[in-house]
Amino acid sequence: MWTLESIAKHIDGIVKGDKTYQVGSIATLESAHSQQISFLANPKYKKYLVNTKAGAVIVHSEMASAVPNQAIVVDDPYIAYAKTASLLNPVELGQQGIHSRAYVSSDSDIHPTACIGAQVVIESGVVIAEGVVIGPGCVLQQGVKVGKNTRLVANITLCVKVQIGQRVIIHPGVVIGADGFGIANDKGKWIKVPQLGSVIVGNDVEIGANTTIDKGAIENTIIGTGVKLDNQIQIAHNVVIGEHTVIAGCAGIAGSTQIGKYCIIGGGVAISGHLTICDRVQLTGMTMVTKSITTSGSYSSGIPAEPTKQWHRSVVRYRQMDKLADRVKRLEVKNKPLT
C-alpha cells in the first residue's frame, strides 16, 4: 500500500483530500474500488468520474473539483498514470544467479547479480552485466553482450556478437542478429552473401514479441537509444533507426534504409530498401514508402475499406483512369473554340 503523498511526490502532483490515504493498485474509473487509484486522461471517460469508487483519481486541475474522493492534481494525467503504474507494479526480477536447468558456457562472463532462467543457453564469450534478467528458454550465441538492467522475457534468440544496451526490454520470440537476406545471382543460381556485421541496440530500447532484426552484411544494423518497437516488426540488414523513433506492429523496413530520430511509424507500414527518412517523420498505418523522405511531417497512403460491391466498381474505375483522362483531353480540345 502507498500513501497518496508518496505517489504525489513521485509524479510531481498535489493531493486534494487525505494525504495519508492508502491505495494498493491502479484501475479504470469504472472498475476501481476504494483501495485503488484511477486516472482521467481521455476526456471521453469524464462521464465515469462522478460515480467512480476509486479511493483517489489522478486528474488535471480543471477536473479536480469533480473527483468524488481524493484527487492528485497533475499537469499531464496520462504521464502521471504511467509513472504511478510503474511505482505500484515494480518488475519482479526472479532469483539472482544461474538456474540449475540453464546451460552457461564456462567461457562466459555473467555478473553475480544477473538472473539466468531455466532452459537458457549461453554460449562462449557472452558478457552479461549487473541486474540483467535472461528469462527462460533464451539462447545467447557466442560473443553476445547485454548491458546493465536489461531484461529478456523468454524464448528470445540473440545471434552471434549481438550487442544490447542498458535497460532494454525484449519480449518473447524476438530474434536479433539472424543473417540478413543477402543473395547474389551467379548465372541463374542464387548464392549466399555471408552476413558479417552484427546488430547494436542502444539503451532504453523496447522490442515487441516476435520482432526480427537482422545483422548487417558488412557493417552493423543499428537501433538507436530510446527506440520503441512493437510486435512482429521486420528490420532488415544495415538498417539504422534514429534515437527515440517508435514503430508500431507489423511494420517492415527493407535493407540499408536509414530512419531519422523522433519518427512515429504506424502499424503495417512498409519501407523500401536504401532510402533515407529524415527526423520527425510520421507515417500513418499501412503506408507504403518507396522514396526517401527529406521533409519532416506526416505521410500516408492506402485506401480505406468500402463495401465490397463498391470496391469492385472502384477498382474498375481506377483501371479506367487513363482512358478517362484521354476523354477529358478530347473534350477540352473540342471546347477550345468556345473560349
CB closer to a second copy, 62 vs 332: 332
CB closer to a second copy, 20 vs 320: 320
CA torsion through residues 68, 70, 73, 77, sign: negative
328 makes contact with a second copy (CB under 8 A): yes
CB closer to a second copy, 20 vs 330: 330
Q: Which stretch binds a second copy (CB under 8 A): 51-59, 65-73, 126-134, 150-158?
A: 150-158
Q: At what angle do helices 308-319 and 321-335 cross, to 10 degrees?
A: 60
- Closest distance between a second copy and the C-beta of residue 3, in Å? 20
- Closest distance between a second copy and the C-beta of residue 14, in Å? 19
Neighbours of 280 (CB within 10 A): 17
Using CB under 8 A, which residues numbered 245 to 264 contact a second copy?
246, 248-250, 252, 254, 262
Distance (Å, rounded) from C-alpha 151 to C-alpha 93? Answer: 9
Member of 117, 147, 165, 260 binding a second copy (CB under 8 A): 117
Grid cell digits, residue 30: 469504472
Q: Which are the contacts of 81, defined by CB distance < 8 A and separation ≥ 6?
A: 26, 39, 41, 58
Taking residues 91 to 110 in sequence order and writing x for each that binds a second copy by CB under 8 A, - otherwise, the string is -x------x-x-x-------
Strands (E), 129-243: 133-134, 139-140, 145-146, 151-152, 157-158, 163-164, 169-170, 175-178, 183-186, 189-192, 199-201, 206-207, 212-214, 221-223, 228-229, 234-235, 240-241
- Closest distance between a second copy and the C-beta of residue 226, in Å? 6
Q: Which residue matches cell numbers 485506401?
A: 303
Using CB under 8 A, which residues numbered 41 to 100 contact a second copy?
76, 78-79, 81-83, 85-86, 89, 92, 99
- Closest distance between a second copy and the C-beta of residue 6, in Å? 17
Q: Which residue matches cell numbers 537476406?
A: 181
Is the distance from CB of 220 to CB of 199 less than 8 angstroms? Answer: yes
Using CB under 8 A, which residues numbered 264 to 293 contact a second copy?
267-268, 270, 272, 282-291, 293
Distance (Å, rounded) from C-alpha 293 to C-alpha 200? Answer: 24
Q: Which stretch binds a second copy (CB under 8 A): 45-53, 66-74, 107-115, 306-314?
A: 306-314
The number of residues in the chain equals: 339
Distance (Å, rounded) from C-alpha 203 to C-alpha 217? Answer: 23
Using CB under 8 A, which residues numbered 207 to 236 contact a second copy?
208-210, 212, 214, 218-219, 226, 228, 230-232, 234, 236
Using CB under 8 A, which residues numbered 170 to 199 contact a second copy?
171-173, 175, 178-179, 181-186, 188-194, 196
CB closer to a second copy, 157 vs 163: 157
1 makes contact with a second copy (CB under 8 A): no
Which residues carry out catalysis?
237
